[in-house]
Structure 1
Amino acid sequence: MKFTPILSALLLGSLSLSAAAATFTVEKTPTGGAVVKIDGQFFTELVVDQANKPYLWPIIGPGGQTMTRAYPMKTVEGEQHDHPHHRGLCFGHENIGGYDTWAEAATFGESKNPKTAERVKHLGAIKHRELKDIKEGETASFTTVSDYVGPDGKKTIEEVRHHTFKVVGETRLIDIDIDLIATEGDTLVDDKKDSGLSIRVPTNMAVEKEKKTPGTGKIINSEGETDADAWAKRATWCDYYGEVDGKQVGVAMLNHPKSFRHPTPWHVRTYGLFTANPFGTQSLDPKAENGAVTLKKGEKITLRHRFIFHLGDEKAAKIAEAFADYAKEP
C-alpha cells in the first residue's frame, strides 16, 4: 500500500494520539493525605484521618467502575455491612509489638464478650506522620511514613510505605512497597490470620454476597485453585473478578519474589476480603510451623505487591504474563 504524505501524517498523528501516555497528578489534602488523578480524573485518595490506619479509597478501575466496597466510609444500599475495618486498600496486623492494627473499635460494636474486651484493650493504630517524595507525570508516586502505636500513644515500630501509580495498556496499577522497621527495640511480629495487605472488593463482585447467596465473582490463583479452595494457599498471584455495573472487571494482586516469605499465603474470602498474608503461617495452616518472628532493633520486614485493576478475567488481562514481567523488576 502506497501512502501519500498527507495520509502518512494523519496516520502518524493518530498513532501518536493513541499511544499518548496518561498524565498523573497528586494533590495534597488538608488532612495530610493525597488525591491521585489520571488526566484530571479521580483515581484514588489516600485517607489518613478517618480510622486507626491509612487507606486508599475509593479506587476507580479502567472501565470507570469503583473497585472497592464503600462501607463503612459510605452507606450504599445493597452492600454488605460487615467487617468495618476492611477499608478500601489497607494494611493491618493483629499483633505487632502487642497491639492490633487490623481491627478497630467499630469492629466489636457493643459486644460484652470477655474475649472481645481483651482484644479491644490491645487495639493500636498506624499513625500517619509524613507524606513525601511526591512525583507526577507519566507515573505518580509518593512515600508515607507512619508510626505504629499502642492505646497510650507509645510507638512500637515505624513503617515506610512507597506507593506507585501507573497505566499499562488497559490496566491501572498500584504498587505498594512496605518496610516494617523495628526502630524502638526488639519487636514481636506474631503469627496471625488477620494480617496483611488487603483490598475489599465490591459486594456484587464477591463470590458470595451473603452465605449461600451467589455473587458474580470468581477467585483464581497462579496454581489454578479457585474460590474457597484458594484460601490459605501459597501462590505468586491471585485474581478476584466479577461484575460491577454490568461489566466484568477484576483486581489481581501480585507477590514479588523479593517480598517477605514469597510466595505468600492468601487470606482471600468468597465474601470479598482479599489479603496477602505472609505472617499467618500456622494460623492459616495448623500443620505449618509457627511464623512468629522477633525483629531485632534496626531490622525490618519488606513487603512488595502490585495491584492490577483490569477488564475481563485473569486470562483477558494476561495476569500470568504480568507477573512474569513484575518478577523481573529489581
Structure 2
Amino acid sequence: MTTFKTLGIAIAMATLSPVTYAQQSEPVKIVKTSKDKIDILIGGKPFTSFLYPDTLEKPVLYPLRDAAGTVVTRSFPLAKRAGDPTDHPHHIGLWFNFENLNGLDFWNNSYAIPAAKKSSYGWIRTDRILETKSGNTGVLAYHANWTNQQKDVILEETTRFEFSGNGSQRIIDRYTTLKANVDAVFKDAKDGMLGLRLAHELQIPETADQKFTDDKGIVTIVKGGSDHIANGTYLTSAGKTGNDAWSTRGVWCKVYGKMGSDSVSISIIDHPQNPNYPTFWHARGYGLFAANPLGENIFTNGKSAKNLTLKKGESVTFKYRIVIENGKETTNPAQLNKLADAFGKK
C-alpha cells in the first residue's frame, strides 16, 4: 500500500515508476435493466449503476467499483455490508446537489426526514434519459428537475456522463448544466455539491472518540482506536494531507488506502471553467468526500462568501472528473496533474 505520511514523501512518490496509463482501454457497455436503473459495464464487468427511482430524493451512481470489482463506496443505505457505518442516510454512492437553493435543502433530504419537515427539503426527479451509447467511451445523459415538494420546478438539470477505463483504472467525466426555471439563489452553504460516500476502508482511522447524531436524533459514540478497518487518508494538489484537506482549495483531491490486497484511490478533479475554481474540499475523515465551490463562508471562517444567483433562463455548468485506481500503487501527484491538465482542455 502506498502511504503518504508527509508531504515530502508524497512529492517523492511522483518520481516512482508511474502506473501504466498506456494500457489498452476496455469497452464500455450501457444497459438499461429496468425503468429506473441503467447499468454501466467496463471490460464486461459491472462498474456502477445509474439509479433514478422516485423513491430516491436524487439520482445517484451506486455503487462504484474499481477495475478489480471491489466496491469503493459505502453500501448503506441501499444494501447491507457488515461493519458499514449507518450515519447520514442521504450519502448514497456518487451524487450532485446542494444544501440551500431558494431556501430548500436538497443535500440532506432522505427517507429519515419526518413528513412534517419534508416541506423544507428539495427533490431532484429524473424525467427522461437523453442518450445512452456504448463504445470505448460510454455515454449516459439525462434530464431532471430540481423541485419543491409540490413538484414546482426551480432548476432544470441536464447531465452527461462519460465513462472509460482500462485494466487498473476507471474514469467518470461528469458535465452538469443547471438552468433556472425561476430566479434561483444558491446561498453559500457547507453541504454541496459533488459528493460521494467512501467504503469503510477508505475512511481515516480516528484516535479520538467520535460522536454522530443521525437524522432521527439517535446518538452513536465510536471509541477512538476501535476501528480496525479504516486505513485511508487524503492528499490534495496543494499538498494538504489527512483531515487538514478539509476546507482547503485545490485542483484535485485524492483519497487512498488498502482494500484487500490492493492499494485503491479515488480522486476528484475540478475543472478551470467551474464557478469559484479551484474548489474547496469538503473531505471528511468519516467518509464524506465532496467538492463544494459554494461553501466559502464556512470554509474561510466567515472571511468571504460565494453565493450564486441565476435569473430565470440563465444557466451554469459544473464539470468534474472522478478517477478510481487500483493496483500495487495508487495514482501519484504527477499523474493526477496530467489527468487534470487533459480534463481542463475538454
TM norm structure 2: 0.82
Structure 1 match to 2:199: 202
Partners of 1:104 and 1:185 lie apart in 2 by 22
Matched, 1:68 2:83: no
Alignment pair present for 1:188 and 2:185: yes
Alignment of 1:50-65 (within 5 A): 50-65=55-70
Structure 2 unaligned blocks of 5 or more: 1-21, 211-223
Counterpart contact for 2:119–2:148, Cα < 8 Å = no
Please name the residue that 1:321 is paired with.
338
Contact persistence 2:95–2:195 (CA under 8 A): yes
Report the residue type matching 1:30 in the other structure.
Answer: S
* Larger-Rg structure: 1
Per the alignment, in what secondary structure is the counterpart of residue 111 of structure 2?
helix
- Report the 3-state secondary structure (helix = DSSP H, G, I; strand = E; otherwise coil) of the residue aligned with 1:229: helix
3-state SS of paired residue (2:62): strand
1:189-218, Cα deviation, whole Å (9 max, x unpaired): 111101100111101111137733462101
Q: Equivalent residue for 1:22?
A: 26
Distance in 2 (CA, whole Å) between partners of 1:91 and 1:106 is 18
**Cα distance 1:20–1:275, how it changes in 2: closer, same or farther (>3 A)?**
closer
Contact 2:163 2:173 in 1 (8 A): yes
Q: CA deviation at 1:40?
A: 2.4
Contact 2:56–2:110 under 8 Å retained in 1: no
Aligned to 1:309: 324
Fraction of identical pairs, as percent: 28
| 1:237-264 deviation line (CA, Å, top 9, x unaligned) | 0000112224210100000111121100
Once structures 1 and 2 are overlaid, which stretch shifts more, 291-300 or 235-244?
291-300
SS class of match (1:58): coil
SS of match in other structure, 2:293? coil
Deviation at 1:317, TM superposition (A): 8.3
Residue aligning to 2:4: none
User: Per the alignment, in what secondary structure is the counterpart of residue 148 of structure 1?
Assistant: strand
Q: What letter is aligned with 1:191?
A: D
Matches within 5 A, 1:112-151: 120-151=118-149
Counterparts in 2 of 1:99 and 1:287: CA distance versus 1, 3 Å? closer
- Residue of structure 2 in register with 1:288 after alignment: 303
Match of 2:41 in 1: 37
Counterparts in 2 of 1:292 and 1:21: CA distance versus 1, 3 Å: closer
Give the 3-state SS of the residue equivalent to 1:318 in structure 2. helix
Distance 1:164 1:269, change over 3 A: same
Aligned alpha-carbon RMSD (Å): 2.1
When residues 170 and 40 of structure 1 are mapped into structure 2, their CA distance, relative to the original with a 3 A threshold, is closer
TM-score in terms of structure 1 length: 0.86
The alpha-carbon deviation at position 165 of structure 1 amounts to 0.1
Q: Distance in 2 between matches of 1:105 and 1:145?
A: 21
Q: Which moved more, 1:194-203 or 1:34-43?
A: 34-43
CA shift in 2, pair 1:317/1:47, >3 Å = farther
TM-superposed deviation, 1:272: 0.8
Unaligned runs of 5+ residues in structure 1 are 1-17, 111-116
* Matched-pair contact (CA < 8 Å) for 2:52–2:60: yes
My pick for the range that moved more, 96-105 or 157-166, is 96-105
1:244 to 259, 283, 286: 259
Superposed structure 1 runs of 4+ greater than 4 Å apart: 107-110
The 2-side partners of 1:293 and 1:320 are apart by: 28
Q: Is 1:161 equivalent to 2:178 in the alignment?
A: no
Moved more, 251-260 or 97-106: 97-106
- Using CA pairs under 8 Å that are at least 6 residues apart, name the structure with larger relative contact order, 1 or 2: 2
- Residue in 2 that maps onto 1:12: none
Q: CA deviation at 1:84?
A: 0.6
C-alpha displacement at 1:38, in angstroms? 1.6
Whether the aligned pair in 2 keeps the contact of 1:32 and 1:131 (CA below 8 Å) is no
